[in-house]
Structure 1
């Protein structure tokens, strides 16, 4: 199984860039800033008014025209007379939408594929398909004609289907018992499918003869069948994934729900099997350098190795570091079948029982894995840092290396603490940790965002049964590798900038104004002060986290800050990385499992030359498209992994319905509160219908749910005790009830003064 090394935060879904920030010096404002300007202007706005407001010159004329045209095509702006525009207050008449689920009646619900407005995307209730056409299923994209029916609500009619194949339904099959007394149905029903996606509120009917022999409580994949009108829609089962009771079926459920590519083409497999070792010609020989790999105990491939030694130069004492990365670009050439498969997948996807790799095993666990004692091609960066961890210089090269040792995080930590004899040359481990402490000093000085949000680990036995669900332990050995990798990634971005080569940056925008203000309000209520939106830096939030660590609710503060963050993504347009407090950052260290890293390798290889494994000009011209593609694949993987963990947790807790658990309120909505359990990190809903009889009011700004008559208040972070009422493994859903509602605040009598 591949070992994953997260080298930047994984915050929640995207928000837009800060529109209150000034435009970039000497350039156009970003799309959202421009849209906001037109929105807030009085009357119609033209290019003259925009140029005057943002100080644009003739050199910006063409780019401004193109941006305005794009905004108009997207429906964000509406033409208003000769070369004038006004803000759009509604969705365009026709747009591309994606089906996300079904309503309780079985009719599809969708959302726009492109949504850049404030707040959540509008909900689109699609009309049933015409007679003789299969119903729309989750995942399908169509061009829809829209009609506004209320705030954030539209009706949609399909104009054209865009997906090549019909959408698929993944869920749990349940056979329908025969009932001779039942009235005849329009469709003779053999069973129903309970969708695995929580957004699908309706079941699907499986007609007689379309079950493929599936049995009750079996996970299946089905395709919609033609049917006209409203009501539950029929499907045909096309694949059986296994019984729900089999823990190994859970990851298959996620793979099919999210349409994750998991089978390689014959051509890609053949290319991987033809791979052989690299020669030393044209490479720097690093085989005498004792580079080592440090990974998880269950890792089967090792794509990064590290080395450190003391060093002293004109700037004073410091360290010489080497980070060597598997030379994946040597094997995965542009335009090859392997390249096509890797780009389609975007990244590897990790589940408790399996990995869906980006590359075939012959490469990912073979020639691209830095196995100890075996010669391997690599790309390396040699970096000199001073005693304070500041990077002084770096040098990239293509090398031939031989790993001196394969170590695990636990082993390295035990060696560092003296609990285990070191397997490394004398002094090497101490030097690695000394260099890391220097890097830690530099990281603390720039103020990176280190959120304390526990990650859950699902432990399985050889039969696939769950043995434990527990928090993942993070050692200093983890942090050592992460900081070495971050330093190498910074060097890669800076090198490509210096050489004026195309670069697919890893970017992370600051919180949007709306989320930042909400975060400020919540942190203020907890006693923490945060600067205004326009002056907010990661070090400000790092200071809040440091102070929170000394208090009673560090996890709540981390969750509050995490909730405000935008999603890191890949782009050729560098806006920096807010969370890491870095101006330039590119992923370079994991080309086995991330296509973005492979693109960075190709750009580095191609500096000044045009070898066959460098980035071709066609790809350089499509970096924005590739960045969007791999960012989307990454989000798909994160969602699939999260849902899989939730399903495992629900299966783990299914036998404990009725048990009580301690936890805290982690989300507040108008329909109830979400509670996260202390022991497992599992989250579930306490529906408002199960709360004490009262009129409950939701306050979005204070994240509270308040009972009008009782005065009871449920607020974010509040410790609670809950009873498990329901666990549904197929969706991963948990339902709780409060065992002891919090006491109502004391009421003052007339004339009583507050103390």
Structure 2
């Protein structure tokens, strides 16, 4: 009888909270008194309340007050998976919230949702939650492959994280045929028993047509290819050559010997370098294209550049942040052409200290357009032909090598971390098919330019930090202590240690990477260390850059392809012309936070698109090698399979379903262990694999152990 009464009270309590009939929020003691529950029965009340919280029926605040779930819900973005479950990503929260398949409320990929936590984070186990409301559908259209039936069709999304097909009624097929790559807008997001519904808005071409594969990725990421009419109109007023009027009042460096050093196929040359020596002091000049002279704040060009945030470098094309007339024309530091620049002139002593600097508006004229390959031939290969070809510049290159070495030693001495993972260079034929894939050559010339650009970025950031002006910094926060503890526990198995303190120093990471260099565990531990660190982003606060062990850092050197660089150029130039008035300082204080958020998001989007096009072409390239055997190294181990990387940087996976025998995943040691314990696969292990299949749409390569 008492149980029945208590059930009634439980239901009454739930109804009262959810129907706003009970004054909430309210603590358990207050609820017990309101419902006249004696002290002896209050433990049962707590069980009921805990169960209601666990299934998401009601919510509880950190102070122990119970209320409607949406009142304690967190708002975030739902990241679905192909297997139904997903994760809610909360801004400024370190860990995502795991959501079971039956607790997603049928949320669609990237929906903005409200989620209540039903199980708090426990050690290495994520917090679990339940979605209680869908705030907004962010994804309005999908890119995929059209499948036609007699009276209707489906679009199978390219994004494997969208775990349902889009139903297309016959009247909304828009000419799509079997195998068409299409863009479909979603009109109904469906339910657990019904697929989302939509209509085809654009047919990109057939799945096998050249270029359609890359265009599908461009559309999927909503990358802006064409410039709007307002921008096209604006560039008509931009000259092809620098006028004498624009050169006036600038520091004239046209007689200073300087070069650009880039890849052979680069067209947007936004940095030039010069160097001289006076006694023990090197005078290094980093000269950056003055894009802000042509892209003025609030103009059509500026608004479009901010919307894009960055240029996107796909495997077969560049989608520029600003039109080619600027990026490859008057803003590009082309050989023999007068150009406007913003220069950072630095004095470097024999210990690599930057002992003096000047930032100024300049007019320059680049002597030669050099490639990384040519400079390497001169400095490393001692190539006679190359040395003769550029004989007047050879002394300068040797001086650059010396100065860069000093800067690098200084940076490493303070603890700068260098993850030297090989990047992929993908060679395509005229139809866009990959003919070769190999590691990108990072040589002495690339390191020289890298060292010089880092020096300029740090110098500018420190200068403007101490001037206490509104600014945009490139920051990299300290790693999460819990992730570092897990890493330290793991590497202990290999005989390495990571000294953990409340304030972990980059020097400790650098020391670890030095110790593992050349060992069998190098690849394994380097990757895990990188995964344990946070991602760099743009902020208005100067909180330092952990990876570079730099107190002050910004992006100053690439305004043609990065909006943050363009933004700070405006602040710098305004400061050079008399300083920021209180009104202008307030203006920048108001706009910079949004610029930081926008450009960080666009940078991530570009990186994802670039990675997906690389994976697509890698899968296409490996089609020809199905059945062949390759040497590789285990690059990742998960519960569902083992990832293997080949010497040419291509990565594929051996699914646990394709492994002979029964294997279990040892998460603590990142190891796949056979049932009998006589065979295992762990990160960094050398293996032989056979290519058993590829999928261009999913961008996957399937291996089996040979």
**Range class of TM-score, shorter chain:** 0.7 to 0.9
Higher mean displacement: 462-471 or 229-238: 229-238
- Partner SS for 1:606: helix
Comparing 146-155 with 646-655, which one deviates more in the overlay? 146-155
Secondary structure at 1:209 match in 2: helix
Report if the CA contact (8 A) 1:218-1:244 is conserved.
Answer: yes
Q: Which residue of the partner structure matches residue 172 of structure 1?
A: 145
Per the alignment, residue 73 of structure 1 pairs with none
**Residue 199 of structure 1: how far off its partner (Å):** 1.2
Residue range with higher mean Cα deviation, 298-307 or 536-545: 536-545
Do residues 650 (structure 1) and 650 (structure 2) align? no
Q: Is the 8 A contact 1:137 1:224 kept in 2?
A: no
Aligned-pair CA distance for 1:710: 4.5
Deviation at 1:401, TM superposition (A): 0.9
Corresponding position of 2:63:
80
Could you report, residue by residue, the CA deviation over 1:303-350 in whole angstroms, capped at 9, with x for unpaired residues? Answer: 0000001123xxxx1200111100011111111111111111111111
Structure 2 residue 476 is the aligned partner of structure 1 residue 508: yes
Q: What root-mean-square deviation, in Å, do the aligned CA atoms of Structure 1 and Structure 2 show?
A: 3.0
Aligned counterparts, 1:177-256, within 5 A: 178=150, 188-190=151-153, 192-226=154-188, 229=191, 230-246=193-209, 248-256=211-219
Provide the residue aligned with 2:668 in structure 1: 701
CA distance in 2, matches of 1:349, 1:363: 16
The alpha carbon displacement at 1:228 in A equals: 5.0
Summarize the Cα distance change of 1:102–1:564 in structure 2 as closer, same or farther, 3 Å threshold.
closer
Length-normalised TM-score, structure 2:
0.83
Q: Distance between the aligned counterparts of 2:213 and 2:339, measured in 1? A: 36
Q: From 638, 655, 659, give the equivalent of 1:691.
A: 659
My pick for the range that moved more, 711-720 or 635-644, is: 711-720
Determine whether 1:461 maps to 2:429: yes
Q: Does 338-347 or 714-723 show the bigger shift? A: 714-723
Which residue does 2:238 correspond to in 1? 275
Distance verdict in 2 for CA 1:159–1:479, change over 3 Å:
closer
Residues 1:406 and 2:387 are matched in the alignment: no
SS of match in other structure, 1:434: helix
Structure 2 contact 117–127 (Cα < 8 Å) conserved? no
Aligned CA distance change for structure 1 residues 714 and 620 (closer, same or farther; 3 Å): same
Residues 726/679 of structure 1: CA separation in 2 closer, same or farther (3 Å cut): same
Distance in 1 separating the partners of 2:132 and 2:503: 45
C-alpha spacing 1:548/1:639, structure 2 compared with 1 (3 Å): same
1:418 to 382, 385, 398: 382
Q: Which has the higher contact order (CA 8 A, sep 6+)?
A: 1
- TM-score, scaled relative to structure 1: 0.78
Question: Of the candidates 77, 81, 86, which is equivalent to residue 98 of structure 1?
Answer: 77
Could you give the per-residue CA deviations for residues 644-703 of structure 1, whole angstroms, max 9, x where no partner exists?
111111111123323222222222222222222x23322233222332333x43332211
Are 1:292 and 2:259 counterparts?
yes
* 1:113–1:119 distance in 2 versus 1, CA, 3 Å: closer
* 8 Å CA contact 1:384, 1:391 repeated in 2: yes
Moved over 6 A (4+): 126-129
Cα shift at 1:404: 1.0
Residue aligning to 2:523: 555
SS for the counterpart of 2:618 is helix
Deviation per CA, 1:201-227: give whole Å up to 9, x if none.
Answer: 333333323332233333221112337
Would you tell me which structure has more helix in proportion to its own residues? 2
Change (3 A) 1:342 1:673: same
- Partner in structure 2 of residue 485 of structure 1: 453
- Map 1:104-503 → 2, pairs under 5 A: 111-117=87-93, 119-123=95-99, 138-139=109-110, 141-144=111-114, 148=118, 152-156=127-131, 158=133, 160-161=135-136, 163=138, 167-176=140-149, 178=150, 188-190=151-153, 192-226=154-188, 229=191, 230-246=193-209, 248-276=211-239, 277-278=242-243, 279-312=246-279, 317-416=280-379, 417-419=381-383, 420-421=386-387, 422-423=389-390, 425=392, 427-503=395-471
What residue is the counterpart of 1:748 in the other structure? Answer: none
Gaps of 5+ in 2: 1-58, 121-125
Structure-1 separation of matches of 2:449 and 2:584: 28
1:720 matches 2:693: no
> Which residue, out of 561, 570, 573, partners 1:605?
573
- Number of residue pairs matched by the alignment: 631
Query: Which residue of 608, 621, 634 maps to 1:665?
Result: 634
Structure 2 CA distance for aligned equivalents of residues 634 and 672 of structure 1: 30
Distance 1:418 1:577 in 2: 37
Question: Deviation at 1:371?
Answer: 0.8
Cα distance in structure 2, aligned partners of 1:236 and 1:503: 45
Contact 1:194 1:203 in 2 (8 A): yes
Q: Flag the 1:405–1:500 CA change in 2: closer, same or farther, 3 A.
A: same
1:674 corresponds to: 643
- Shift in Å, 1:606: 2.0
Rg comparison, structure with higher value: 2
Q: 1:622 is paired with a residue of what secondary structure?
A: helix
- Residue 587 of structure 2 is aligned to residue 623 of structure 1: no
- Aligned equivalents of 2:296, 2:666: Cα separation in 1: 55
Please give the per-residue CA displacement for 1:473-503, whole angstroms capped at 9, x wherever unaligned: 1110000000000000011101102222112
Structure 2: distance between partners of 1:693 and 1:467: 36
Cα separation, 1, equivalents of 2:513 and 2:523: 9
Contact 1:128 1:228 in 2 (8 A): no
Q: What's the counterpart of residue 568 of structure 1?
A: 536
- Mapped to 1, the partners of 2:542 and 2:556 lie a distance apart of 16
Stretches of structure 1 lacking an aligned partner (at least 5 in a row): 1-75, 130-134, 179-187, 740-755
Contact 2:289–2:559 (CA under 8 A) maintained in structure 1: yes
* 371-380 vs 542-551, greater mean Cα deviation: 542-551
Q: Residues 143 and 158 of structure 1 are in contact (CA less than 8 Å); yes or no, is this contact kept in structure 2?
A: yes
- Change in CA separation of 1:127 and 1:261 when aligned onto 2, cut-off 3 Å: farther
Question: 2:705 maps to which residue?
Answer: 738
Distance in 1, matches of 2:102 and 2:201, equals 25
Change (3 A) 1:633 1:412: same
Alignment CA distance shift 1:252-1:406 (3 Å): same
Q: Distance in 2 between matches of 1:495 and 1:227?
A: 52
8 A Cα contact 2:141 2:185, kept in partner: yes
Q: Which residue of 2 aligns with 1:36?
A: none
The verdict on how the C-alpha distance between 1:535 and 1:497 changes in structure 2, with shifts beyond 3 A counting, is closer
Q: Is the 8 A contact 1:137 1:167 kept in 2?
A: no
Rounded to whole Å, the distance in 2 between the matches of 1:636 and 1:518 is 29
Distance 1:618 1:112, change over 3 A: farther
Quick one: distance in 1 between partners of 2:651 and 2:445? 29
